[in-house]
Amino acid sequence: MPALDRRQFLKLAAALGATVAFGCAHVRPSSSGWRERRDLFPQGVASGDPDHHSVLLWTRRPYADGRERATLLVEVAEDPAFSRVIATTAAPVLAAADWTCRVLVGDLPAAGEYWYRFVDDEGNGSRIGRTLTAPAPDDPRPARFAFVSCQDVCIGYLNGYRRMIFEDERAAPEERLGFVLHLGDFIYEVVAYPDQVKNGRNFDRVVTFPIRYPKGKRVARNRFWVPDSLDDYRVAYKAYLQDPDLQDARARWPFVCIWDNHEFSWNGWQSIQEFAGTDGWVPAQTLKVAANQAWFEYQPARVLPPGAKLDAFNAPNVRDVPLKATDFDDTGLNTEPNNLAAIDSLIIYRALRWGRHIDLLLTDNRSFRSRDPGNHDEINPLFEGDTLGFVPEDLWAQLDGGRAYNNGNPPAKLVMGDKSVHNYVAKDPPQSMLGAKQKAWFIDTLRGATATWKVWGNSLGTLDTRVDPQNLPPELSSKWKGKGYGLMTVYDWGSMYHERAEIFDAVRDAGVTGLVIVAGDRHSFWAGYAAKALPPAAPFEPVGVSFVGGSMTSVGSAEVNEYVQKKDNNPTRGLYIAEDTDGKPQCTENLTLRHGVRSALEYEKTKDVQKALAVRNPELAPHLEFVDNGGHGYATVRCDAETMVTEFVCIPRPVARAPGNDGGPLRYRVRHEVALWRAGERPRMRQTVLEGDVGLSI
């Protein structure tokens, strides 16, 4: 039975900016006269955010004859030949929405497989898409989905999707994926034009130039172009959706999408842009709204556009007003009215249910996040002369915690080695990724979740990137100015100590079990445990399991290190990269993060994994089971009443489009299996390498 009656459902569709169609009991053959004309629907079709009785469908049918609107017929069928059509409706496409079309189809049976297509008034048809409805909330069948992120099409090829399609087509029907969870960086707004790329290459990649912005602006001292108008953002989506692998994937599964940074701006937060090599905040309220509008137009998602105009995004009128450092409120939100209007123009945090076993909670980590406390000039004196680049854990805890550090007693000075600066965050609130409103919603929803597994779809990883430079050999140890452990990176949940603890404490206190965090952004595969803190600062008390999926295409640090870690005069090179006995570069950074600096340096010296593991630091990373900073591909998740299994499907560096239909050979497939734990117990995972060579990752 549908959860909503028809009147409520019509209201919902209108609020979502979608035309509505209803499934009916009397199926009949198609009479639309559909003839496929993919050229007239150049971005293909898509579906998104299914629930157990409805799903959003999407296409784009542009017209260039001066008209402002047209009408498409949409057909939904129970078979790919459309001999059993279950729903049809007429849906407008508007120039004002860049000719994109959204249809919410309701009254569909749960756990169904459907095919859909769009036809214009001359019988020209889109390609055929396939979609699925969710199992009913009490349906005990196992649930499966894939998660992906970071798909820069200017520097790589989406072979991961090809592999995913290849495997799904060959899987038993009950083992097929229910949806694809896209965790952000669906587009990269930052592009290089030919004159900005040396020798046409970027690391291992031959750069291509599928995007040329109608307006655009040059940034970062003319190193890149970024969008400077709504049309610019639209151009990026249009270019991406012409990729055949992405288009085939969107036509095969419903997608559930959230954004990360690149859907708006590389270093963007709230409605602010920042660009490498240039000073200051660039007010970008109008571009934040434009980015949100383009996302809304191109991603079929259950998110509410501003206003109630059918099929079009009523963009709020904002101006690019500079934000002042003094205008942040008590939760880190800048209260400048145009900033608030811009970031509120599209709220994408939301929850979806998939059968009995998955409550999926999705957060927005960029629109509401507070100022990065490490991104202040005041800190620079501490790092003068530093060549390691690690941040002491205790220093970062002071920066992250602000006035809340040490139960409200922050130190007056920030200290590193023999250097100190005044504690410029001593009066600031702790860092927030989610902002107060979203965090309240998130914790509430998490507490109330009733599915076996609570999956937090999150663009940013939560696992600490901890390192132990205090264990460097004597000839290098003077490089480390901290006292104990350090962090390799400080920008994501792995170093958002205060807010992460708030969330994990709420999970523990409410007795929530089955918390699974899936993330992207790091361009690397990680598996481990969700714990708010690591010994010796606090006991190790994980409240869930945490995964990061490798990038679809975007360059990972293993590849970067092959270029930037010079062989001469670089005594710490072995912490990142070392050649094996065949002279092939291996990602020793994985060893540094998982086993410690001694293991990485031992491998560099002996090229022997066993010898490297013999000198591991067992205290470094109780939270990690797997790290591969050189992996690309995707991950799958399978949940049932007792077990959750995540598989990392790692493909070779995607520097060329795989010639066959299997996406190329696999590098490895590794599985982490977690039994459901009870409140008060700690989760544990079992690792199995199913095929291939995981190198230095375990």
In the complex with Fe ion, which residue's Cβ is closer, 124 or 273? 273
CA 625 – CA 495 distance, rounded (Å) = 18
**Contact call for residues 290 and 342 (beta carbons, < 8 A):** no
> At its nearest, how many Å lie between Fe ion and the CB of residue 237?
16
Task: Count interface residues toward Fe ion (CB under 5 A).
Answer: 3
> At its nearest, how many Å lie between Fe ion and the CB of residue 554?
5
In the complex with Fe ion, which residue's Cβ is closer, 261 or 334? 261
> At its nearest, how many Å lie between Fe ion and the CB of residue 262?
6
In the complex with Fe ion, which residue's Cβ is closer, 166 or 203? 203
CB atoms < 10 A from the CB of 527, how many?
25
> At its nearest, how many Å lie between Fe ion and the CB of residue 624?
21
> At its nearest, how many Å lie between Fe ion and the CB of residue 186?
10
In the complex with Fe ion, which residue's Cβ is closer, 185 or 400? 185
> Residue 291, interface with Fe ion (CB under 5 A)?
no
What's at 550, amino acid-wise? G
- Residue with nearest beta carbon to Fe ion: 150
What's at 521, amino acid-wise? D
In the complex with Fe ion, which residue's Cβ is closer, 150 or 533? 150
> At its nearest, how many Å lie between Fe ion and the CB of residue 149?
6
> At its nearest, how many Å lie between Fe ion and the CB of residue 150?
3
Q: Report residue 243 as tokens.
A: 């990729």
Nearest partner of 403 among 328, 479, 494, judged by Cα: 328
In this chain, which stretch among 177-185, 199-207, 482-490, 665-673 interacts with Fe ion, using CB under 5 A?
Answer: 177-185
DSSP state of 532: S
> At its nearest, how many Å lie between Fe ion and the CB of residue 160?
14
Nearest partner of 38 among 126, 123, 120, 128, judged by Cα: 126
> At its nearest, how many Å lie between Fe ion and the CB of residue 635?
15
In the complex with Fe ion, which residue's Cβ is closer, 355 or 654? 654
CA 461 – CA 284 distance, rounded (Å) = 26
DSSP string, 280-342: S-EE-HHHHHHHHHHHHHHS--S-PPSS--TTS--------PPPPGGGB-TTS-B--HHHHHH
In the complex with Fe ion, which residue's Cβ is closer, 151 or 513? 151
CB atoms < 10 A from the CB of 394, how many?
17
Query: Residues 363-402 vs Fe ion: string with x where CB under 5 A?
Result: ----------------------------------------
CA 32 – CA 22 distance, rounded (Å) = 17
**Contact call for residues 507 and 448 (beta carbons, < 8 A):** no
| DSSP H helical ranges for 415-464 | 435-448
DSSP state of 520: -
> At its nearest, how many Å lie between Fe ion and the CB of residue 667?
20
CA 527 – CA 517 distance, rounded (Å) = 10
> At its nearest, how many Å lie between Fe ion and the CB of residue 559?
13
> At its nearest, how many Å lie between Fe ion and the CB of residue 157?
16
In the complex with Fe ion, which residue's Cβ is closer, 382 or 555? 555
| 202: β partners | 205
Angle separating helix axes 497-509 and 435-448, nearest 10 degrees: 30
φ, ψ of residue 333 to 5 degrees: the values are -90, 135
CA 123 – CA 72 distance, rounded (Å) = 9
In the complex with Fe ion, which residue's Cβ is closer, 105 or 519? 519
Q: Can you tell me which residue has the tokens 């570069």?
A: 585
In the complex with Fe ion, which residue's Cβ is closer, 82 or 224? 224
In the complex with Fe ion, which residue's Cβ is closer, 150 or 282? 150
In the complex with Fe ion, which residue's Cβ is closer, 106 or 549? 549
In this chain, which stretch among 83-91, 146-154, 201-209, 533-541 interacts with Fe ion, using CB under 5 A?
Answer: 146-154
> At its nearest, how many Å lie between Fe ion and the CB of residue 520?
7
CA 674 – CA 642 distance, rounded (Å) = 9
CB atoms < 10 A from the CB of 479, how many?
16
> Residue 185, interface with Fe ion (CB under 5 A)?
yes
> Residue 468, interface with Fe ion (CB under 5 A)?
no
Residues in the chain: 698
CB atoms < 10 A from the CB of 201, how many?
11
> At its nearest, how many Å lie between Fe ion and the CB of residue 655?
17
> At its nearest, how many Å lie between Fe ion and the CB of residue 460?
10
**Contact call for residues 366 and 462 (beta carbons, < 8 A):** no
> At its nearest, how many Å lie between Fe ion and the CB of residue 643?
30
| 358: β partners | 354, 453
> Residue 359, interface with Fe ion (CB under 5 A)?
no
In the complex with Fe ion, which residue's Cβ is closer, 519 or 645? 519
> Residue 150, interface with Fe ion (CB under 5 A)?
yes
> Residue 589, interface with Fe ion (CB under 5 A)?
no
Q: Are β-strands 544-548 and 632-639 bridged in parallel, bridged antiparallel, or unpaired? A: unpaired
In the complex with Fe ion, which residue's Cβ is closer, 293 or 554? 554
In this chain, which stretch among 144-152, 201-209, 219-227, 637-645 interacts with Fe ion, using CB under 5 A?
Answer: 144-152
Using CB atoms within 10 A of its CB, is residue 618 exposed (0-12), middle (13-18) or buried (19+)?
Answer: exposed
Contacts of 467 (CB under 8 A, 6+ apart): 390, 485, 486, 487, 488, 592, 593, 596, 597, 620
Q: How many helices (H) and strands (E) does the chain have?
A: 16, 37
Nearest partner of 504 among 373, 634, 623, 367, judged by Cα: 623
In the complex with Fe ion, which residue's Cβ is closer, 150 or 531? 150
In the complex with Fe ion, which residue's Cβ is closer, 256 or 674? 256
Kindly identify the residues of this chain, within the stretch 541-560, that bind Fe ion according to CB under 5 A: 554
For 684, what's the count of Cα atoms within 13 Å in the CB-facing half-sphere?
A: 3
Residues near Fe ion (CB under 5 A): 150, 185, 554
